[in-house]
A and B are shown apart, each in its own frame.
Chain A
């Protein structure tokens, strides 16, 4: 339970709330110079669906080390934040042999822009960046009740590998999802 998090939620979205965009969204990679402009918005967007907001250190933990694995979807005209994905990529060595494991930590899309493929586009960018970074596998957790999120990841090729009982503070369980990118050595991990 070292990586507790809540994730993208589609619960509140419904067709009539959707706002049509006046043009194409801009997708950009995060960099540190954007912190003052976008970090407050990123926090606001992600903590919207969270009962337990992360401290600023959690965001900086990710963004300072793996800013290149964070992507933002921006409004075509006013450049406000519409969606964001935050990841990390590092050696995971609690099992042998160690693997270079990508982790999708947070994904959020502003409720009124859901259902237009924004989240999928963001996740694909993050996966592509992690593949470029030579990732062996990518994992994440998602709340058991968050069916749209699971669909999104499963359509991209993720599999549920295990269920985590009462993983979140609200008492909900989670699924661990895995996308294996390279054939692993004969050894394997169970946990």
Chain B
């Protein structure tokens, strides 16, 4: 361990603001130890003489003393580390009198400060630096109250009608605040989030009124409101309203929390949120009535909490920030309820994707509500089994009206019947894939940085799901007696449809695309990497578009074949009453149509992603050649480009398909040395125009058709907004490419002499928060 020698004290004394002096060597006598079985021995002298042989500052530690431990160490008597260290003349506590009479304006002021602190807590700061800095809250929680009567900042304050209505209102407010914090904290603890990164659930050994019934608290708030109403003649109207609305905000929030546990009808669940929304606006408009009471908040209370941290400053967003954050919290609280209207698995996924892609991202509490809706008790959205959702997804992506998903298979008991074997194999597959599938939803409920990293981890998992699924596919194709088909029809080899592994491959590719796209969003890539990363995105999306074509081919073929046999069998089955193997699932045409629309929209999206990404690759490569990209084409002092490629592509190395290109191949494809700059730019403009036309079609589908057409039930507005942003990006790419092309022509330079163009243009790579869609970083090219 660290040598705690005199040197340490010397250094502390060097501090310009030393704490009260004490001499470390005037030690108290050793305690008289007497315990059975223990022979006490004073080792002070031996320790001191051993320590005397050390150089000042030398460290004696074992192999397990890590940086983490050293960061956790405290320096006694350093006011920034030692929580008990007081400045000369400083008192341990504040002497704020919680029993003093309060003006109505002061109650509003205190409540408004509490609202800001509550929001700071939601944003990720600890209770110790937020709500727990309130002297009223501290007195209410310490000593821990067991009953409603105990929960008061004035102990034995009495509950009679004689009580000061202002104290009563503030107490009721604090009760409601603490109880809602309790539920919020419990909800977040119950779901997946990152402690101290997203949120701090630590309550420092204080109970947030856990044992006090929520209805008792609600009634107490109602009572306080009633009393306010009764005494309204003593106050200006607007003051009575200001106080009343603040109390109403608490009851509405408590009710919203209570209902959100139900996962039932979104309409009724949204009522208290809607009430909060209205009340919040009024609260904001009456803020000016408040008189701040800064002395009712103190950092010193932190010394009383179960924490070794020295007091840290109060974290308090401005009133404007508080207003905006609460407004967003409430809007998201209402919006998240839409997820409960389940339409299909792909709309569900799109809902989660779009909801979480918002900027700023919904707060942790809202994200936890979403997780609770999705996964609580392994019942999806409170009413669907995991199998229902998974089968729904399989039927949309690869297996519309397929025998493999026919629930009737489960009731076949004859072990030699193909349906029996199918049911068994499908169950094996579900067990294998369900967790990985749900993990995608869970991953997207995390903060954006974590989404990207979690998806990287999932990628290895999906690699294995795909492999395992292929084995099951091969067993299933024996049972269904599937005939191989030549694909592509223009001349390939005969292969089976492999529906389950096709499904897994589709998700694996999506995962890969998402990680690259999140890289743009999170500004992971430097401008010099953009050409390469857009090429890689284009490569992945193109691979997926082709894969979807293959799925479509096999699905179409199977359905045509089954339609033919169903027609024949329909008469036969009616005659002999047997369940023939080729009988299709219920609503074959509906399922078929749904799958066709899905494959159409998804193929389009993949192809358009590929197209626009390719355009951006060409554009960035051209800009680089023209010397318009800063920081590229320069020899860096350390490492090599090949090693940097290795770092960047590490997560994809273990992926079998699509194989990661070698660095040399990658470099060649991205830089395209065989192509002239002018033709690169023409290519970029052409691809951007294609993308634009396709995006117009996609938008048309979304705006003219129902949300079901584009699988965005519950999130169509966001879907449209994202596609519009994407479309604007395509327009911007086309414009940038043509600006550069014109400059090349205007410069009148011979091919190969690109340097002159740089003098005519200015290129700026915008940050992700400054573009129309944060997955499309389009350079701004302007003429000088």
Contact = CB atoms under 8 A, between A and B. Distances in A.
A179 B638 contact: yes
Nearest to A171: B124
A186 B759 CA distance: 45
Interface stretch (B64-72, B479-487, B714-722): B64-72
A183 B646 contact: yes
Contact of A190 (B8, B453, B524): B453
A60 B650 contact: no
Of B65, B194, B312, B643, most buried by chain A (CB within 10 Å of CB) is B643
B577 interface: no
A167 B453 CA distance: 15
B535 to A, nearest CB: 17
A167 B194 CA distance: 11
B636 A165 contact: no
Given A60-B2, A165-B449, A55 B643 contact: no
A95 to B, nearest CB: 11
Give chain A's interface secondary structure class.
mixed
Interface in A151-191: 154-167, 169, 171, 173, 175, 178-184, 186, 188-191
B647 A161 contact: yes
Contacts of A186: 653
B11 interface: yes
Interface residues of B, number: 58
A188 B450 contact: no
Given A60-B59, A180-B643, A165 B648 contact: no
B74 A55 contact: yes
Contact of B638 (A3, A160, A173, A181): A181
Contacts of A158: 638-639
B273 to A, nearest CB: 26
A48 interface: no
A93 B535 CA distance: 33
A159 B80 contact: no
B644 interface: yes
Contacts of B452: 162-163
A190 B456 contact: yes
Interface stretch (B50-58, B171-179, B426-434, B592-600): B50-58
B4 to A, nearest CB: 10
Interface string B425-458: 0000000000000000000000111101100110
Contacts of B644: 157, 159, 180
A55 B526 contact: no
A58 B70 contact: yes
Contact of B66 (A2, A169, A171, A181): A2
Contact of B11 (A40, A156, A189): A40
A57 to B, nearest CB: 4
A187 B394 CA distance: 33
B631 interface: yes
A166 to B, nearest CB: 5
A55 B73 contact: yes
A165 B197 contact: yes
A122 to B, nearest CB: 14
A64 B524 CA distance: 34
12 contacts: A4-B71, A39-B11, A56-B11, A57-B70, A60-B59, A88-B67, A124-B637, A160-B524, A161-B647, A166-B124, A171-B123, A190-B456
In the A-B complex, the 7 residue pairs with the closest CB atoms: A61-B70, A157-B636, A157-B638, A165-B449, A157-B639, A57-B73, A180-B643
